[in-house]
Structure 1
Amino acid sequence: MRSFDVEKVEWQEISPDGTCYTLLEGDKQDPVGGFSYFLKLPPGAWDRPHWHTGPARLLVLRGVLMPGLGADFERAKASPYAASSIVHVPANEVHFDGCDTETLVFGVAQGPWSTLYVNGDN
């Protein structure tokens, strides 16, 4: 058995806005076993429209995650999901996401996993 304390994991910064990620277990390229991770978004972080090659299930642990659908970034079309909400993001679904307050998410996803941006700037 393994446990993960969000206050003790090693974070990897993945965006200049301070968004951080940590892989908890598994392999992002494994099509069978999948993987799990924490994602920490600082206040005001927004990711431009993109999609993932595999599906993901997200549990909002803290804050409010605000995903929106479509290739056009329109914050007004984002829907708020508060702590304890679960969000399913199907493979290849174009979306954007962000937050206004620090937000912490636990995710479980299926590989092979890549994030591809609508404008091709990966």
Structure 2
Amino acid sequence: MLKTTVAFCIGLAFASAAQAQVNSQDLKWGPAPAMFPKGATIAVLSGDPAKAGLTTVRITVPAGYQVPAHHHPTTEYVTVLSGDLHLGMGDKLDMTKAAALAAGGFAEAPAGMNHYAWSQDGAVLQIHAQGPLDIVYVNPMDDPRKK
């Protein structure tokens, strides 16, 4: 019985993984949603970032890109695939108080924790979170949806 259960679970894992297989050259990139500062692009790897449930997206940001202090309603997991990302915790973007992450770097921003980010040279990021994805800016005037 245990062997059957384990085999069934492994089969489910492979079936689920097969539904989300994609090579980087086949990703469909487009402008990031309005909650992101202008200049970012996004590609959805799995899930629907606008709906409840797990989702994984890739984001590209140009050199000099900044995201003012904000938080998310769910925990966000970020992996730097290429380029650089500077990530700091707090209520205001402070370029002197952030950790520099290079390709392969990883960060976790717990739900509700204010943080900010910028990229000096541009980056490709992979973000994994529970949807729907949202950004709540500490200063409402920083929200690009209000500009």
Q: Tell me if both proteins adopt one fold, taking TM over 0.5 as the criterion.
A: yes
- Residue 30 of structure 2, aligned match among 12, 15, 23: 12
Q: Is 1:96 the equivalent of 2:81?
A: no
**Paired residue secondary structure (2:24):** coil
Q: How far 1:37 sits from its partner (Å)?
A: 0.3
Contact 1:64 1:80 in 2 (8 A): yes
- Counterpart position of 1:114: 134
Q: Is 1:61 the equivalent of 2:81?
A: yes
TM-score by length of 1: 0.87
- Counterpart position of 2:103: 83
Unmatched tracts of structure 1, length 5 or more:
none
TM-score by length of 2: 0.73
- Counterpart position of 1:70: 90
- Counterpart position of 1:21: 42
The letter for the 1-side match of 2:30 is Q
Per-residue CA deviation, residues 65-121 of structure 1 (Å, 9 max, x unaligned), is 111111111111121011111111110110110111121111110134321111124
Q: Separation in 1 of the partners of 2:41 and 2:123?
A: 11
Larger gyration radius, structure 1 or structure 2: 2
The letter for the 2-side match of 1:65 is L
- Counterpart position of 1:3: 21
Higher relative contact order (CA 8 A, sep 6+): 1
- Residue 39 of structure 1, aligned match among 44, 49, 59: 59
Q: Separation in 2 of the partners of 1:103 and 1:117?
A: 21
Q: How far 1:3 sits from its partner (Å)?
A: 2.5
Q: Separation in 1 of the partners of 2:132 and 2:111?
A: 10
- The structure with the greater share of residues assigned to helix is 2
Runs of 4+ in structure 1 deviating by more than 4 angstroms, as ranges, are none
Unmatched tracts of structure 2, length 5 or more:
1-17
Q: Separation in 1 of the partners of 2:89 and 2:125?
A: 18
Q: Separation in 1 of the partners of 2:66 and 2:102?
A: 16
